[in-house]
Amino acid sequence: MGNTIVYQDVLEYEETLTTNPIDVMQLVLEYEWKLACSIASVDPTSGPIGQTITIGGAGFEAIQGGGGVAINGTAATIVSWSDTEIVATVAAGTTTGNVVVTNDSGEASNPVLFTVTVAELGRARSFVVICG
């Protein structure tokens, strides 16, 4: 049998862990790690209405459920969703501001700036023919 480590935190919660490798592995397998909802990247960081963006990070949760993405408070249209990556489309009416992911548990991510640009339109060319 391995050594025993006693851990006590400020909440007076006491937990006993063993250093026996088999017991430690069992503990790791039984413990479900949950990462905080956080954005690591937004690609691209600017674009027009209708632009598809990819949000990378952690803790989004595997299923969207009641979660979503907002850009400056306007809900983006979700294309796909996983615990580490979301693909969304910038919705009509969106203005420059922070991208924030809220997972199904209601946890909001850190904000990341997205700049809404004006879509470039092709140059209109017209010809006037005067016959006379």
Question: Residue with structure tokens 């990070």?
Answer: 57
* pLDDT category of residue 89 using cuts at 50, 70 and 90: very high
Stretch 97-102: mean pLDDT, rounded? 98
Confirm if 37 and 108 have CB atoms less than 8 A apart: yes
Continuous segment of H or E residues that includes residue 26: helix 21-30
Which CATH number is 38-116 given?
2.60.40.10
Q: Is 9 helix (H, G, I), strand (E, B) or coil?
A: coil
Q: Residue 8: pLDDT above 60? A: no
Q: What percent of the chain has pLDDT over 90?
A: 61
Closest CA to 24 of 39, 2, 41, 47: 2
Domain ranges of the chain: 1-31, 38-116
Give the pLDDT confidence of 20-68 residue by residue, as tens digits. 555 555 555 554 555 689 999 999 999 999 999 999 999 999 999 999 9
- DSSP letter for each residue of 99-119: EEEE-TTS-B---EEEEE-PP
Q: Per the omega criterion (within 30 degrees of 0), is the bond before 48 cis?
A: no
- More reliable by pLDDT, 24 or 72: 72
**pTM for the predicted model, two decimal places:** 0.67
Closest CA to 57 of 81, 80, 84: 84
Stretch 63-80: mean pLDDT, rounded? 97
Question: Residue with structure tokens 């674009």?
Answer: 47
Q: Residue 131: pLDDT above 80? A: no
